[in-house]
Structure 1
Amino acid sequence: MKFQLDQPQGGNIISEHDGRSVWVNGVAHRHSVLVPWQGPVQAWELSRFEDLSEAHFERILALKPELVVFGSGAKIRFAKPQLYRALIQARIGVETMDLGAACRTYNVLASEGRTVLAALLIEA
């Protein structure tokens, strides 16, 4: 599905996704990524939901978002809360959605100027 905001407010925008890739600022990413509201998109070393660990979520802390939108892949799957305990303790919200919903929600929040981060699982 291809979509685009009418008036992007700067920062990172997800313009397209197809389940195997996401396009951020016109650049295709075919692996799991962390997309902060501003700054570089980062590779997220994760190719299967079953491999999620605390370390995957702890990487997000350094980026200091107020909210994380976790795109759990083609279907919605919820990570165990102990995996993202560090985010909870830092009072960072975590919302879980399928990949498409996470991309759309991230764009809305980022366009509002929120300090949001999309953690997008793209399974191999």
Structure 2
Amino acid sequence: MQLNLEHPEFDYVLRGADGRQALVNDRRMTRSFIVAPRTLIEDWPAIDVRSLDADALAPLLALEPDVVLIGTGAGQGFPPASTMALCLSRGIGLEAMTNAAAARTFNVLAGEGRRVVAGFVLAAPDDADAG
């Protein structure tokens, strides 16, 4: 059997994510962030998926995605209906799922050449210790 190493045609790969951290390529992320196949935005100020509004989505939408994934942390959560309606009104799909599921989904969609952007909500270290 011949094995070939394939190099993805995008710059950022999620190697894993949970509610506290994520691994983007070889970089450990401990604060909420945004990732697209060729863009990484660190220190996204999102702290709770239930409070995501148009201002919080602006940097994701600026990347002109077809699909927005929201990694909601360790557990499932959903943004407000108005936030979901904002994406729908622009013809952009929005899916909310745990960070682990969002990481896997991002990699699949990016690998298919889709215009995907993902925002990952990570618990601040103080919040994670309190919970």
TM over 0.5: yes
Matched pairs, number: 120
Please say if 1:24 is aligned against 2:24: yes
Q: Which runs of 5 or more structure 2 residues have no equivalent in the other structure?
A: 1-5, 125-131
Q: How many Å separate the matches in 1 of 2:81 and 2:44?
A: 19
Bigger mean CA deviation after superposition, 90-99 or 8-17? 8-17
Q: Which has the larger radius of gyration?
A: 2
1:37-89 deviations in whole A, cap 9, x for unaligned?
A: 21233431022334422211122221101101111111111112202433222
Correspondence for 2:39? 39
Deviation at 1:97, TM superposition (A): 0.6
Note the 1:64-75 alignment, pairs <5 A.
64-75=64-75
Moved over 4 A (4+): none
For residues 42 and 86 of structure 1, do their structure 2 counterparts lie closer, same or farther at Cα, with a shift above 3 Å needed? farther
Q: How many Å separate the matches in 1 of 2:91 and 2:80?
A: 17
Q: Is the 8 Å Cα contact of residues 32 and 121 (structure 1) preserved in structure 2?
A: yes
Correspondence for 2:89? 89
Q: Which runs of 5 or more structure 1 residues have no equivalent in the other structure?
A: 1-5
RMSD: 1.9
Correspondence for 1:78? 78
Q: Is the 8 Å Cα contact of residues 33 and 40 (structure 2) preserved in structure 1?
A: no
Deviation at 1:7, TM superposition (A): 5.0
Bigger mean CA deviation after superposition, 69-78 or 43-52? 43-52
Partner amino acid for 2:107? Answer: N
Partner amino acid for 2:47? Answer: S
Q: Is the 8 Å Cα contact of residues 67 and 116 (structure 1) preserved in structure 2?
A: yes
Please say if 1:48 is aligned against 2:45: no
